[in-house]
């Protein structure tokens, strides 16, 4: 079996698409209800080693889904509900493509699952925070990742035709787990009883009809003759729950402007450069160059040129590229440059108009991008140097970092600053602001630093605990260099585990349980010979070989 | 490098010990303060493939520690605080023995870490629920698992001698994580700032003196000249917080009576038999044979013959044996037999006297044993048949099971019953009662079934959702047999992941984060070539070889 898909082979994956270029989805809009029809083209996989049969998906299919959800939020505020369905007969979705998974490197599997998890959480975020409701209209068999996509929707309707079932067959058929939140959502979100979930999770053929409703796996079933009508009724009812504007226009998300030259990637406000010898990338986000638009009308007119949206769209793309294109870059050095006063002004605009639908979308998008950073399995070091723009929203980058170094040189002014945007507008997946996570269990201290509305110099920032260490001008260069070199020498696996544990202090949510408990177990299983060895279940699937297990329980 | 330690090699590990037989600890009692002195005998490892240098530990050392904590609770109610220290010079504890870990099978590593985690959580349980406070008196170097033991204590004092540091060197030295809750406790319990925890977790030499206090890693430092005095003062202050009795006597925990014949193991109220061909164990807990002692005086006089304590001590031992001695037994069938009325009476006694120190200890011990069952990586199926004693506390076994099957035969009465003990006295690690976890998000339903104070027959139990399925007498045998056979055919790794996700619905606590997020990541790392491959860091430790890493980040 060829191990053909790996981050290097697929290194030129692009996250940039739009509906005119979709190969796997059709987006149609009818008043307040949009329909996302899944119609995966078998012969258009991301790499040509497998065929996407039965509406199975690979990363390319999911990039289009993520794009569609994002565009509905920004481009179509008049859409209040989305029906996710299949344009194929008798099959909704067969889940992630097994042959793709089987041919993938471990790192690719893990990053693929992480991205698809983020897409499903973005659907839930749109529902919870943006009034955009989702209905899964399962017009045929719905297996594995297909059902996990349905679980991310607000409601699920299944056609009742004696054939169509929902299932999570990963354990019985492949010896792995449903990798996109399925187990967590079944019990935590849909509150299926744990023993029924146990039966369901070991039943390759799944559950259909009445029983699927009784167990809580779907909200309703409808016979084929009434299916379209039932879906329509539910979609309209869901749309009525929305608090989105009655009409548009939205703003267009135009293609990102990005230039690559050698190991440097340059957007309009974000850039990064890769040092392969040291396995370090340096990523810079630049403050706006002039005051941002300050009224909803002006922001609407600016559209995706509005700096907060532009900067974080670029940052989001840069994070995804670093994850997928640069698997051996272990440390990302984060910098913010420019005039911090302009960042503070932009934050004031965001906060003043946070009730406006577009500003709300921008804030939630910034939040999601920062969550992607939290979940990026690379060491993050923030460097705070003179000329920095680590203020407010951009200071969240330093708060997301594993460490922050700040130069303390009396001859060169160097400050950081907090704004109201650090006070809870951009929560982590665990529901805490990054300041509350940093000062876990010390709410008075959080309030104290937030009350400090002027800039912090290095001594003040150190005293307040906002940075890790503030070397002086004599030590700065050596200390930073040594820290980066020392980091690069450590086991990348141990660092991934260390960071995943230290970053998420405090409460766990459905979201962090998916990335913590569930994904960590799945990643373990993805390493085990019982799944991926020569006789493993994933290896043998679809062949004449039968899996052979080492029966030792751990 | 020999892979010498595996569950088969160490299959005869005994969990039965007492202070007269300790080889590695010395327990002394001085009024309300006990001292547990660690003095690991280098030449007394569990298996003879490594030496326990520098107060490093293996499972044998930890079994003694767990025994000592347990005995202090039951045998010495007059002890209100425990000082954990070292009897060696300049070294407190070097952590888990690396050569033991390196030589262990994956399953052994995982089970070793699980047991040591349970021991540390038992220390915290004693403090939180039993008024027995713990002080770590670090009189020398305290590394890795040594520091994790200290983290489990209420307070930590470190000697300030320019040599003694606390450290978690697993990542920099071994390419693995601190596996006994270290990362979680540093940020979640001690609330060390995450960036300082990041520095600490990558610093092989650790942190000492004033800085260890400033970072929150220890509560105080004291120079060697004042160390004993500082420890004594703190221990007395901690003891004063206790609500334990001013004086004894306690009760003696006598050796368990256990007989092994072939594949059957028999205690006084618990037995199990292993069917190796089917990879199934059947474990039976028997109800008391007559009414249990009903007053605190009588319970004290009965001592460890008091049925609730006896049954769960035996069950605890059986669970540990199944974990360690029977690695290939994938399914445990749980049965309760005898007169359920006597179990209900026993529950009434426990609830009536729950404020009495001994009854409180018994209830918390039952709770801990059931938590061990929740954490046991085997499929658990409860079979509810005529003559069963699944009532109250014993019904928790069925609630802990992944599924419960109940025979529905009109000719043979077969009922289950709830008592007040199902209402929250025996919470899971996530803080929920098993009923609340089963009916997650449906508190009214929980209250409804608890209000049903008579027995449930199969139809009622099914309607109430208390059992999974109730086959009739025609289907029973086939359905149960097929379910067990189908289970045994699935990948043991996928089942471990599935069960670990479905069992712990709802909130996560420090405890479940340790077993979910942290342990799952650690188990993943323990599989990775960067740790355990021929050039992995764990493999190369202590040799002249240098670790070589695959730098791919996941």
Contact A524 B528 (CB under 8 A): no
Distances (CA, A) of B407 to A182, A195, B258, B398: 31, 17, 31, 14
Whole-number pLDDT of residue A2: 40
Question: What does residue B133 show for φ and ψ, rounded to 5 degrees?
Answer: -95, 150
Of the listed ranges A11-20, B117-126, B452-461, the least confidently predicted one is A11-20
Whole-number pLDDT of residue B554: 86
Ranges of residues in chain A whose predicted pLDDT is under 50: 1-3, 7
Please tell me the distance from the alpha carbon of residue A197 to that of residue A209, in angstroms, as a whole number.
16
Please tell me the distance from the alpha carbon of residue A369 to that of residue B20, in angstroms, as a whole number.
60
* DSSP-based three-state secondary structure for A249: coil
Q: CA-nearest residue of chain A to B464?
A: A193
Interval B414-442 mean pLDDT: 98
| Tokens read off for B46 | 């569990």
Whole-number pLDDT of residue B302: 98
Closest by CA position to A551, among listed B330, B235, B101, B51 = B330
- Give the rounded distance of the alpha carbon of B191 from its chain centre: 24
Task: State in Å, rounded, how far the first CA of chain B is from the last one.
Answer: 28
Find the CB nearest A468 among B195, B438, B554.
B195
CB half-sphere exposure, B410, CA atoms < 13 A: 0
Whole-number pLDDT of residue A554: 86
Contact B491 A442 (CB under 8 A): no
| Residues of chain B positioned with their CB less than 8 A from the CB of A520 | 516-517, 520-521, 524
Find the CB nearest A520 among B106, B279, B517.
B517
Handedness of CA A126, A127, A132, A137 (dihedral sign): positive
Interval B398-402 mean pLDDT: 98
Contact B198 A518 (CB under 8 A): no
Q: CA-nearest residue of chain A to B487?
A: A202
Summarised one tens digit per residue, pLDDT across range B331-384 is 999 999 999 999 999 999 999 999 999 999 999 999 999 999 999 999 999 999
| Residues of chain B positioned with their CB less than 8 A from the CB of A494 | 170-171, 174-177, 525, 530-531, 537
Please tell me the distance from the alpha carbon of residue B11 to that of residue B325, in angstroms, as a whole number.
5
Rg (CA), chain A: 24
| Tokens read off for B205 | 């030499």
Distances (CA, A) of A15 to A12, A161, A318, B5, B374: 10, 37, 10, 48, 42
A254-262 contact pairs (CB < 8 A, 24+): A254/A303, A254/A304, A255/A16, A255/A18, A256/A16, A256/A313, A256/A314, A256/A317, A258/A314, A258/A317
**pLDDT band at residue B103 under the 50/70/90 scheme:** very high
Contact A531 B493 (CB under 8 A): yes
* DSSP-based three-state secondary structure for A261: strand
ipTM: 0.95
Contact A490 B170 (CB under 8 A): no
Contact (CB, 8 A) for A139 and A226: no
Distance from CA of B380 to the nearest CA of A (A): 10
Closest by CA position to A508, among listed A184, A196, A168 = A184
pLDDT over threshold 80, residue B10: no
Contact A502 B198 (CB under 8 A): yes
pLDDT over threshold 60, residue B2: no
Contact (CB, 8 A) for A164 and A221: no
| Residues of chain A positioned with their CB less than 8 A from the CB of B328 | 551-553
Please tell me the distance from the alpha carbon of residue A10 to that of residue A107, in angstroms, as a whole number.
12
Q: CA-nearest residue of chain B to A112?
A: B554
Contact A492 B198 (CB under 8 A): no
A396's enclosing H/E stretch is helix A392-400
Whole-number pLDDT of residue B3: 43
| Residues of chain A positioned with their CB less than 8 A from the CB of B499 | 198
C-alpha torsion B252→B368→B68→B165, nearest 10? -170
Q: CA-nearest residue of chain A to B328?
A: A552
* DSSP-based three-state secondary structure for B141: strand
Find the CB nearest B198 among A187, A194, A403.
A403
| Tokens read off for A121 | 């959480």
**pLDDT band at residue B6 under the 50/70/90 scheme:** low
Select the residue from B446, B494, B523 to test the A interface by mutation, using most A Cβ atoms within 10 A. Answer: B494
Please tell me the distance from the alpha carbon of residue B140 to that of residue A87, in angstroms, as a whole number.
69
Mind spelling out the 3-state secondary structure of A269-315?
A: CEEEEEECCCCEEEEEEECCCCCCCCCHHHHHHHHHHCHHHHHHHHH
Contact (CB, 8 A) for A524 and B493: yes
Please tell me the distance from the alpha carbon of residue B365 to that of residue B348, in angstroms, as a whole number.
17
Burial class (CB in 10 A: 0-12, 13-18, 19+), B1: exposed
Interval B37-64 mean pLDDT: 96
Contact B111 A554 (CB under 8 A): yes
Contact A194 B508 (CB under 8 A): no
Whole-number pLDDT of residue B5: 57
| Residues of chain A positioned with their CB less than 8 A from the CB of B464 | none
Contact A553 B496 (CB under 8 A): yes
Q: What angle do CA A514, A518, A524 make, to 5 degrees?
A: 140
Contact A438 B195 (CB under 8 A): yes
Contact A492 B530 (CB under 8 A): yes
Closest by CA position to A434, among listed A458, A401, A409, A471 = A401
Across the A/B interface, how many CB contacts are shorter than 8 Å? 282
Closest by CA position to A127, among listed A80, A84, A83 = A80
Greater confidence (B301 vs B1) lies with B301
Distance from CA of B107 to the nearest CA of A (A): 5
| Residues of chain B positioned with their CB less than 8 A from the CB of A378 | 553
């Amino acid at each position: 079996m060829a191990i053909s898909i790996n981050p290097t082979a697929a290194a030129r994956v692009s996250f940039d698409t739009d509906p005119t270029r979709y190969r796997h989805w059709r987006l149609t809009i009818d008043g307040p209800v949009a329909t996302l029809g899944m119609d995966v083209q078998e012969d258009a996989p991301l790499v040509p080693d497998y065929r996407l049969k039965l509406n199975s998906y690979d990363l390319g299919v999911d990039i289009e889904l993520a794009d569609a959800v994002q565009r509905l939020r920004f481009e179509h505020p008049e859409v209040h509900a989305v029906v996710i369905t299949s344009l194929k007969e008798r099959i909704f979705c067969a889940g992630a493509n097994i042959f793709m998974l089987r041919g993938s490197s471990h790192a690719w599997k893990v990053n693929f699952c992480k991205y698809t998890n983020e897409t499903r959480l973005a659907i839930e975020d749109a529902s919870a925070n943006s009034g955009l409701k989702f209905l899964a209209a399962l017009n045929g068999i719905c297996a594995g990742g297909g059902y996990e996509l349905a679980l991310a929707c607000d409601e699920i309707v299944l056609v009742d035709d004696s054939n169509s079932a929902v299932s999570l067959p990963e354990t019985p058929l492949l010896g792995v787990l449903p990798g996109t939140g399925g187990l967590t959502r079944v019990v935590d979100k849909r509150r299926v009883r744990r023993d029924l979930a146990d039966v369901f999770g070991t039943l390759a053929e799944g559950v259909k009809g009445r029983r699927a409703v009784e167990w809580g796996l779907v909200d309703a079933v409808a016979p084929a003759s009434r299916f379209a009508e039932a879906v329509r009724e539910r979609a309209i009812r869901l749309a009525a729950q929305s608090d989105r504007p009655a009409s548009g226009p939205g703003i267009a998300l135009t293609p990102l402007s990005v230039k690559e030259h050698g190991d440097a990637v340059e957007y309009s406000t974000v850039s990064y450069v890769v040092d392969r010898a040291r396995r370090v990338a340096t990523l810079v986000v630049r403050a706006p160059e002039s005051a941002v638009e300050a009224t909803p009308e002006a922001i609407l007119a600016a559209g995706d040129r509005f700096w907060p949206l532009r900067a974080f769209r670029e940052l989001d793309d840069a994070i995804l590229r670093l994850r997928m294109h640069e698997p051996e870059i272990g440390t990302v050095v984060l910098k913010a440059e420019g005039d911090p006063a302009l960042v503070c002004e932009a934050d004031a605009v965001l906060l003043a108009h946070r009730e406006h639908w577009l500003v709300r979308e921008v804030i939630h998008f910034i939040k999601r991008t920062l969550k992607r950073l939290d979940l990026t399995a690379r060491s993050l070091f923030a460097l705070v140097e003179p000329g920095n723009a680590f203020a407010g929203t951009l200071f969240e980058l330093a708060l997301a970092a594993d460490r922050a170094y700040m130069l303390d040189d009396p001859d060169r002014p160097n400050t950081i600053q907090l704004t109201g945007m650090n006070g809870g507008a951009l929560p982590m997946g665990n529901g805490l602001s990054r300041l509350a996570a940093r000062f876990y269990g010390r709410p008075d201290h959080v309030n104290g630093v937030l009350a400090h509305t002027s800039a912090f110099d290095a001594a003040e920032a150190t005293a307040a605990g906002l940075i890790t260490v503030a070397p002086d001008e004599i030590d700065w260069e050596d200390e930073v260099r040594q820290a980066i070199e020392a980091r690069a020498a450590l086991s990348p696996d141990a660092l991934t585990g260390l960071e995943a544990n230290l970053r998420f202090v405090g409460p766990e949510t459905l979201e962090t349980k998916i990335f913590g408990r569930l994904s960590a177990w799945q990643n373990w299983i993805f390493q085990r010979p019982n799944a991926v060895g020569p006789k493993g279940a994933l290896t043998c699937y679809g062949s004449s070989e039968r899996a052979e297990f080492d029966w030792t329980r751990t």
